[in-house]
Amino acid sequence: MSEAKIHSDLIIFDGLIVSNWGREIFENMREGGLTGANCTCCVWENFSDTMRNISNWKSWIQENDDLLCQAYSTADIRQAKQNGKTAIVLGFQNVSAFEDQIGYVRLFKELGVGIVQMAYNTQNLIGSGCYESTDSGLSDFGREIVAEMNRVGIMCDLSHVGAKTSDDVIQASTQPVCYSHIAPAGLKEHPRNKTDAQIRTIVEKGGFVGVTMFPPFLARGTNSTVEDYVAAMEYVINIAGEDAVGYGTDFTQGYKKPFFEWITMDKGYARKLTEFGEIISLSGIERIGKTGNLTATMEKSGWKANRIAKVMGENWLRVLNDVWGK
């Protein structure tokens, strides 16, 4: 079977994309064969700004219905495969949109939000991000938010979350939680990367790990290639097992310097958190439309078809179904 045929037959789910949304990106998603993706609609935004972003998404899906559909269930994602479309799962990279209102959790679920990260790099009302100097752990209000997310079926994401807060969420949640887009600290020390112990802890509680291809987090930085990305996945699989690993690119396609300034400052405007330097796309997967190169590299690296199918999407759909309950 050809590499292109293998790729085209797969369920392909990207655990996180935060790109400059528009027709060009949506066409790239189809070119890359994406069956579904967790698409960011909140980073630092409050309730009203996030609602505006979701309104934009509803319009984009309607205006591009030859390419897209919205997913409220894993069945919707599988149906998108049959229909030749990409299923959009709305996702948050912060709980800022919840503000201090537990009731907003259910509201956003009804609008199609399926995955929410518990903090974006710094402190919020529920806990600490990975760049916060003191990790205070999960607050009591945060425990109520986790419980409500469990109740309505929104997956807790811990990718940008501090170690103590992450551990607290893992222990507090009655549903599987995830790192949707991380790289292993065992290959490169970085505040955003997760240690072997952190990976084991989340998996031991039934959680899930999506591996990112963002070059600053990979072992060779901006010199990284798709082969380095697959090597990072193999490292995580050796810890977590191939049933608990997927991919989450963190694609920022189409964005320029102002976006990276915004995401690397606390609350989008305050203290500078980190400096990525020059942002260079991963060699071999420079854009979403070249996702097929990832499957091809897995095959060239000796991966069996069953492992490729799991990591490219089937594992994500299984754990999302566990959380969403449908």
- Which residues lie across from 251 on neighbouring strands? 17
What share of the chain in percent tops pLDDT 90? 96
Contact between 28 and 253 under an 8 Å Cβ cutoff? The reply is: yes
Residue 20's pLDDT is 98
Contact between 60 and 10 under an 8 Å Cβ cutoff? The reply is: no
Q: What is the pLDDT of residues 163-209, one digit of tens each?
A: 999 999 999 999 999 999 999 999 999 999 999 999 999 999 999 99
4 pLDDT above the threshold of 80: no
Average pLDDT over residues 277-287: 90
Residue 5's pLDDT is 79
**CA 93 – CA 82 distance, rounded (Å):** 29
Residue 67's pLDDT is 98
Residue 55's pLDDT is 98
Average pLDDT over residues 220-239: 97
Q: What is the DSSP letter of 66?
A: T
| pTM as predicted | 0.97
Q: Assign 276 a pLDDT band (cuts: 50, 70, 90).
A: confident
Residue 275's pLDDT is 85
**CA 119 – CA 157 distance, rounded (Å):** 9
Average pLDDT over residues 215-243: 97
Residue 251, φ and ψ in degrees, nearest 5: -60, 130
Contact between 313 and 13 under an 8 Å Cβ cutoff? The reply is: yes
Pairing of strands 36-42, 113-117: unpaired
Average pLDDT over residues 143-163: 98
Q: Assign 2 a pLDDT band (cuts: 50, 70, 90).
A: low
Residues 6+ away with beta carbon under 8 Å from 136? 123, 127, 128, 164, 165
279 pLDDT above the threshold of 90: no
Average pLDDT, the chain: 97
Name the CATH superfamily, with its identifier, for domain 3-324.
Metal-dependent hydrolases (3.20.20.140)
User: Which three-class secondary structure state does DSSP give residue 54?
Assistant: helix
What's the half-sphere exposure (Cβ side, CA atoms, 13 Å) at 271? 7
What are the angstrom distances between the C-alpha of 236 and each of 183, 209, 239, 319? 8, 8, 5, 17
Residue 16's pLDDT is 98
Contact between 140 and 146 under an 8 Å Cβ cutoff? The reply is: no
Q: Assign 280 a pLDDT band (cuts: 50, 70, 90).
A: confident
Give the residue among 38, 43, 47, 153 at the shortest CA–CA distance from 91. Answer: 38
Q: What is the DSSP letter of 117?
A: E
